[in-house]
A = this chain, B = another copy of it.
């Protein structure tokens, strides 16, 4: 069973830590002043292995980072830098491309503008596939570098306060990162530019999959008292305490809440992570006029005294050049760590270091839905591409909430809220919002009434159907 890295959830916490330990070894080796001469003596780990980069979106930086890592391991690279030179221009599907390329390379790194595209590739590949960014979805190797940087700077990931600034809506690096931070028990403090808040499906997933829950009013007040300039704080205290979600909208005050923040928990910010505006994903939308900027002035507040300043780079205007010589600036280190972390990841996936990854991959938490009654409504989802529809069946994970069932696209991981559901056994539909109890095995989901009826479903009573 070959392993892939499509989302950060494809690795367990234990596996991530094993990758980090191996990266530590590589980092020591790379940092040695006599590196080339020393390495020449040792066995080349990835000798006779080929890594292919397949970038449907241009990126010199990320591509070079992978290619350099492969070279540092002693392997070779096949490089496809330009969207227009791929056979996709001739109408080829992802499934075909990957089934051909796996004959030419031993591991394939893919960047693609469509969300979920790399999952599709992985489903058809017999060699490891690495996601180097799929639209606004995820960028898990960036997340590995981010987490590794944090851990090296702070010694641990647990109980850290991490401020996330800038474009949290379209910045895929941020989406992978919040899941990773949540899993390792760091506290997440979003400070988005106006209109660039974390998407709802990310927020919901923090709540559902990682137990990030609202703080109590008392905690809200305490944080407010600290005059923290944010309107939402996700808090993930140490296990075994339950993780917590904070919002200054005191909705759902009766929700169960076990987490308790230690006093002055947010008095110190361990890291400020800022991203540029993803202008290329905005289309004609006007950029935020009040995009946050982190510079020396911003960091004057005492709570940033020892904050590591991080940025996935490239920066535009949101990160001051006056910080470049400030010792809190770790963004160039963060870029440098890309090589040892990716070396470790490649060595793990190629099983050059077979001890790193367990078998099998982490199991899915939710039930899989494969009936052809639903399609993903995310316009950037790979399942919306005409070429891929030739062979691709929509698939969803079922996420039960209190009073409804959500369907999360297996590819792009956006949530869909079907308006109607039924059992295949009786084909009597009902409103999703009225759902109670465990999910039946023969569940059918429908986006709307028309779809339910088209699949032969009927209302519970004739009267009910007419009033719907």
Give the interface of A toward B (CB within 8 A).
35-37, 39-40, 44, 46-50, 52, 54-55, 58-61, 64-65, 67-68, 71-72, 76, 78-82, 84-87, 89-92, 96-97, 99-101, 103-106, 276, 279-280, 313-317, 321, 324, 332, 335-336, 338-339, 390-391
Contact = CB atoms under 8 A, between A and B. Distances in A.
Nearest to A101: B64
In the A-B complex, the 5 residue pairs with the closest CB atoms: A92-B314, A36-B48, A58-B85, A68-B104, A103-B336
Given A54-B60, A90-B276, A313 B105 contact: no
Contact of A321 (B58, B67, B332, B391): B391
Contacts of A35: 48
Q: How many copies does the complex hold?
A: 3
A80 B59 CA distance: 10
Contacts of A76: 71
A100 B335 contact: yes
A315 B92 contact: yes
A35 B105 CA distance: 13
A317 B71 CA distance: 39
Given A103-B338, A321-B391, A338-B103, A81 B90 contact: no
10 contacts: A50-B68, A50-B71, A54-B60, A60-B86, A64-B78, A64-B105, A87-B313, A90-B280, A92-B313, A92-B316
Contacts of A332: 99-100, 103
A324 B98 CA distance: 14
A104 B65 contact: yes
A64 B47 contact: no
Contacts of A58: 82, 84-86, 89
Given A79-B79, A104-B338, 18 more contacts: A35-B48, A36-B48, A40-B48, A50-B72, A58-B86, A61-B100, A61-B101, A64-B78, A64-B104, A65-B104, A68-B78, A68-B104, A82-B85, A92-B313, A99-B332, A99-B335, A100-B332, A324-B391
